[in-house]
Amino acid sequence: MLNSAPTIETLLNHRSIRKYTGEPISEEMLTAILEAGRAVSTSSFLQATSIVRVSDPAKRTAFRQISCDMTADEYAQAQADGKRLGHGYVESCAEYLVFCMDAKRHHQLADVNTDWTEVTLIGAIDAALMAQNVLAAAESLGLGGVYIGSLRNDIARASELLELPKHVVPLFGLCLGHPDMTSKINQSQRPRLPLDVLVSTDTYKVASESDLAEYNEKVREYYNGRGLDLDWKAQIAATFGGDVRPFMLEYLNAQGFAKR
């Protein structure tokens, strides 16, 4: 019988785990975690999500290359040059799960139109809900994880690695494993926006400049404690300041999504 921690305690203790002990996850534990994901709410009972468990070491390496935004040749050269390459946990975690938006089964069963943008939203929301159930269940059992959105750096290549048919899209990965809590990278929680900024009543409340500045300073202090010269404003600018995966719409259209 598995012993899980209380729900609220588990959720409030969340942090991304990027270093693992190397201990495998038992089949009993993994099954319980996946069953928790399967039990999640789903829009109109469409169940528009699939999970691909990636265990092949060569595919794990390829997904790490994608997350580093490198081709196989660039990755090999960087390794030869002794460069430190991020996302090593994609290869070292006990389990690497890829959550996919999936309308393939719907096309198998009925004559349907799934190229509407709303269908894309349904699939993305269903996948996110399922993944959160999976991670929360894992954390309640003493495991840890980190989401990998960077597999979308080359989403077409990710699809090829998983041999995904039309109407299936890989949205993000999830590394899971036993946390190595001797590692400082696993020990701290990044400060979240305060509730009075996140939550409005009846009508949307625009955050005040002073609240945002105060929060930005808290984030700066957090990163300074890790030896980084960074704050939330800089992160936003780095992410949204230029092109954001401009190939995405063309790829989604090719897979039969978001055409109208």
Would you say residue 257 lies in a domain? no
Would you say residue 1 lies in a domain? no
CATH of the domain at 168: 3.40.109.10
Would you say residue 206 lies in a domain? yes
| pTM of structure | 0.94
105 and 198 together in one domain: no
> Into how many domains does the chain fold?
2
The DSSP bridge partners found for residue 53 are 97
Domain boundary among 171, 187, 203: 187
**Most distant CA atoms of the chain, gap in Å:** 57
- pLDDT tens for each residue of 79-129: 888 887 879 999 999 999 999 999 999 999 999 999 999 999 999 999 999
Would you say residue 2 lies in a domain? no
- For residue 127, give both structure tokens: 């996948």
* Cα distances (Å, whole numbers) of residue 65 to 30, 97, 146, 168, 247: 26, 16, 17, 22, 18
pLDDT above 70 as % of the chain: 100
Distance of CA 193 to the CA centre of its chain: 20
183 and 209 together in one domain: no
Residue 199 domain boundaries: 189-248
104 and 52 together in one domain: yes
Domain boundary among 158, 187, 216: 187
71 and 146 together in one domain: yes
Residue of 231, 227, 260, 226 lying closest to 15 (CA atoms) = 226
Would you say residue 149 lies in a domain? yes
Would you say residue 208 lies in a domain? yes
- pLDDT tens for each residue of 196-206: 999 999 999 99
